[in-house]
Amino acid sequence: MSGALAVGGAIAALFASSFSPNVIATPPYFEDAPTDKMVIEVVTVNGSGCPLGTAAVAVSPDNTAFTVTYSNYLAQVGVGAKPTDFRKNCQLNLAVRVPQGFTYAVASVDYRGYAYLENGATATQKAHYYFQGQEETNEGIHNFKGPFDDNWQTNDVTPIGALVWAPCGELRNFNINTELRVNAGTSNTKETTSFIAMDSADGSVNTTYQLAWKKCPTDDEGDE
Looking from the CA of 153 toward its CB, the CA atoms found within 13 Å total 14
pLDDT score for 135: 72
pLDDT score for 132: 87
Of 199 and 95, the structure prediction assigns the larger pLDDT to 95
Q: Which residues of 95-110 are buried (b: 16+ CB within 10 A; e: fewer)?
A: ebebbeebbbbbbbbb
74 CB contacts (<8 Å, ≥6 apart)?
4, 7, 8, 49, 85, 88, 180, 195, 196, 197, 198, 199
Taking a C-beta distance cutoff of 8 angstroms, is the pair 56, 68 a contact? yes
Residue 1 scores a pLDDT above 60: no
| CA–CA distance, 135 with 172 (Å, rounded to integer) | 13
Taking a C-beta distance cutoff of 8 angstroms, is the pair 77, 4 a contact? no
pLDDT score for 205: 59
pLDDT score for 202: 47
Residue 5 scores a pLDDT above 70: no
Average pLDDT, the chain: 82
pLDDT score for 32: 81
pLDDT score for 177: 94
Per-residue pLDDT, averaged over 212-216, amounts to: 92
Among 8-22, 57-71, 127-141, which range has the highest average pLDDT? Answer: 57-71
What DSSP string describes 41-60? EEEEEESTTS-TTSEEEEE-
| CA–CA distance, 16 with 197 (Å, rounded to integer) | 14
| CA–CA distance, 181 with 117 (Å, rounded to integer) | 12
pLDDT score for 160: 82
Interval 76-121: pLDDT, tens: 999 999 999 999 999 999 999 999 999 999 999 999 999 999 999 9
Taking a C-beta distance cutoff of 8 angstroms, is the pair 71, 135 a contact? no
Residue 134 scores a pLDDT above 90: no
| CA–CA distance, 78 with 3 (Å, rounded to integer) | 10
CA 53 to chain centre: 16
Q: Using pLDDT thresholds of 50, 70 and 90, give the confidence band for residue 45.
A: very high
| CA–CA distance, 59 with 211 (Å, rounded to integer) | 11
Interval 6-41: pLDDT, tens: 344 333 333 333 333 333 334 444 568 888 999 999
Of the listed ranges 56-60, 79-83, 119-123, 202-206, the least confidently predicted one is 202-206
pLDDT score for 149: 96
pLDDT score for 22: 35
| CA–CA distance, 34 with 16 (Å, rounded to integer) | 31
